[in-house]
Amino acid sequence: MELGLAGRRVLVTGAGKGIGRGTVQALHAAGARVVAVSRTQADLDSLVRECPGIEPVCVDLGDWEATERALGSVGPVDLLVNNAAVALLQPFLEVTKDAFDRSFEVNLRAVIQVSQIVARGLIARGAPGAIVNISSQCSQRAVTNHSVYCSTKGALDMLTKVMALELGPHKIRVNAVNPTVVMTHMGQANWSDPYKAKTMLDRIPLGKFAEVEHVVDAILFLLSDRSGMTTGSTLPVEGGFWAN
With beta carbons less than 8 A apart as the criterion, state whether 194 and 150 touch: no
Give me the tens of pLDDT residue by residue for the chain, a chain 244 residues long.
789 999 999 999 999 999 999 999 999 999 999 999 999 999 999 999 999 999 999 999 999 999 999 999 999 999 999 999 999 999 999 999 999 999 999 999 999 999 999 999 999 999 999 999 999 999 999 988 999 999 999 999 999 999 999 999 999 999 999 999 998 887 888 788 899 899 999 999 999 999 999 999 999 999 999 999 999 999 999 999 999 8
Does some domain include residue 217? yes
Question: Cα(7)–Cα(134) distance, rounded to whole angstroms?
Answer: 23
Q: Contact at 8 Å (CB) between 32 and 7?
A: yes
When divided into structural domains, the chain yields a total of 1
What CATH number does residue 59 fall under?
3.40.50.720
Q: Is 218 contained in some domain?
A: yes
Q: Which domain holds residue 50?
A: 9-182+211-230
The CA distance from 119 to 185, in Å, is 31
Where residue 14 falls (left for φ over 0; alpha for ψ -120 to 50; beta otherwise) is left
In a domain, 189, yes or no: no
Three-class SS of residue 9? Answer: strand
**Residue 149 annotated as catalytic:** yes
Is 203 part of a structural domain of the chain? no
Residue 29 forms part of a structural domain: yes
The answer to whether position 58 is within a domain reads: yes
15-65 pLDDT, tens digit each: 999 999 999 999 999 999 999 999 999 999 999 999 999 999 999 999 999
Spell out a b/e string for 195-206, using b for 16 or more CB atoms within 10 Å of the CB, else e: eeeeeebebbee
Residue 190 lies in a domain: no
Selecting among 149, 191, 209, 241, the annotated active-site residue is: 149
- Residue 232 CB neighbours (<10 A): 17
